[in-house]
Amino acid sequence: MSKWWNRYFDETLVKDWTIFHFHKNWIDSHRGDVEELTYSKAMDALVKSLQAIVQRSSDISKIWKASSLLADLRARSDIDKLWLDVEKILREKMINTGTNIQFINSSCDNVQISNVGNKRTHEKENETPSKKDVGEHHGRMSSSENSIVQGLTNIGGIARYNIIFLPEENECSPIKSIFTKEKWIKLEADWQKAEKKTMLPAGSGMNENVNKLLKKYNDGITKATYGYNVNLNKVAVLFDEMSIVNRDAYIFTEEWSTQWIKLSSSLESLHDGELSEYAYRDRIINRIIEDVFLDINNVIREVENQDSKVQKDSARPLGQRRSVGWEHDAMLIIKVNSVDFQVGFGEVVGNACIRDDKKMIEDREKILKSMQLGLFRLYQLFKQQGVDENDISNAETFGILVYRKTFHFYSMHYVNNLYLVDQFDGFTIPDNSGQLEQLSDIIEAMFSFKQRVINLHRSIQNSSNKKRRFQQKFKEQNSKLVAEISELRKKYTEVEAENVKLRHIIEESTGLKTSFVMKIKTINLVWLALNNNNH
């Protein structure tokens, strides 16, 4: 049995070699090892095994078969379905055993990011959260604000939820067309004013080790670049050397995201028009989005928007079929006092090559509705806790839309009874060696986004703790006051008891005095009577 390729190719007849059967064999062989039971590791093992057979095998039939499989190596629907079934089983197992969340970094253990597996069909418009169910808007509206809200309600779609998507470029858009140019600019200024309270400078969240590592990467890439040509062999060696030579300064869970590009399959996937959405997410998107949060949480599973599901179910007439859920490709969840709040929502549209504007708009609207519902829940939390207006204005939710090779990062703020959304960051994944120098910018953007999510959690937690501290202080002061009142009552009771004793003494004294007076009067009368008799 060869050490160069997977044992499947030794145990299976050459004529029976298939990509599907290899994946099935991988799943069967690693059922007890969740770490190995991933699509990407199976694909890496398959590619390396086939390449090793072509280069090292002396059996011509094996070489021909391996070459044929390499040429036909595409992520197909049968492979996707196979792995989606695995994800479903793993997800159910994790939920049933209570191990679906792993907290690694104690300082950030209340933030988690999860990824989803399969394509979804979009639910009908009438099944999405309604404005009535989301709740009435906060505070009283001025006449101008009321007219804007009324105008949005008449439009329908996402406008029913008072959502305004500011990056909208279509001047004929139903939402944008109801505003004058000046009002639209005013809305953009309102969003920017709210954004300034939460935005971070470039490079936020990057520690010294990551900065040093990126500098070495950039210097190495520059040395390996000649004009528009890059010696990829030198670059690959550079990545490996950085992780070995600087072991003392390198922390796997924090710097792993800087190495996703070194995998050769990544570049191939960015040019594969036949690649499925599932495979594109697994090979490329997960390595960018999920891995930067690896030191916080490492879970890959299908994520259901419970806020939306509960909201829709509560809006259904009695006896009507329950909602099947509202799933996202990625979701950011933060914990506040052991309660989950969904604050970030991600969608991937197809693969890196296919243009599908219709699906992109559908996925984007799905993100916006979830952002609005998530922000509404945060406002409810703040309102219940009596948080002051300054802290409330720092609340925000996030959206990540990946269309082809471009990442769009959105933030939503609640301003003047409107949910304003705009893009605060973005980048395009480099798809050729001449663009490798852009990697450091991408990594900085991801770390900055991660820090922003952590800051949001800290802000919410601090506001909650501030309220709890105030309540605790009030409770302590109240307890102290109650104790003082109790002590005063005790003293009052004692004084009252003394007063009663004094009254008794006084009454007794008064009785004695009266008796004595009566006796004196009686004696006087007797004395007078005796005197009269003597005369």
| Full pLDDT tens readout for the chain, 535 residues | 567 788 888 888 988 888 888 888 888 888 777 777 777 788 888 888 888 888 888 787 888 788 778 777 654 555 666 666 666 665 555 444 433 322 223 344 455 555 444 444 444 443 444 444 444 444 455 556 666 777 777 777 788 889 999 998 887 788 888 888 899 999 999 999 999 888 887 677 777 777 877 788 788 888 888 777 777 777 766 665 555 445 455 454 455 445 544 544 456 778 888 888 888 888 888 878 776 676 555 333 334 445 544 444 444 444 444 444 467 888 888 887 777 888 889 999 988 898 999 999 999 999 999 999 999 988 887 777 776 666 677 889 999 999 999 999 999 999 988 999 999 999 998 877 777 778 788 888 888 888 888 888 888 877 777 666 555 665 666 677 777 777 777 877 877 787 777 777 776 666 666 666 676 777 777 667 777 766 5
Q: For residue 331, which of 381, 395, 425, 399 has the smallest C-alpha distance? A: 399
Three-state secondary-structure class, residue 469? helix
**Interacting residues of 120 by C-beta distance below 8 A, sequence separation 6+:** 327
Q: In one letter, which amino acid is 266?
A: S
Give the predicted TM-score (pTM) of the model: 0.62
Measured in whole angstroms, how far is the alpha carbon of residue 459 from the centre of its chain? 14
DSSP string, 243-272: HHHTTTT--HHHHGGGGGGGSHHHHHHTT-
E strand or H helix at 415, and its extent?
A: strand 406-415
- 176 HSE (CA, 13 A, CB side): 12
Q: What are phi and psi of 403, to 5 degrees?
A: -120, 115
Residue with tokens 């309270």: 197
Domain boundaries, the chain: 8-92, 104-118+125-471
As a dihedral over the C-alpha atoms of residue 434, residue 438, residue 442, residue 448, rounded to 10 degrees, the angle is 170
Give how far Cα 458 sits from Cα of 344, 345, 381, 407, 463, Å.
15, 19, 15, 26, 8
Q: Where are the alpha helices (DSSP H) in 329-438?
A: 357-385, 389-392
The per-residue pLDDT for 324 is: 40
Tell me, what amino acid is at 51?
Answer: Q
Collapsing DSSP to helix, strand or coil, 17 comes out as: coil
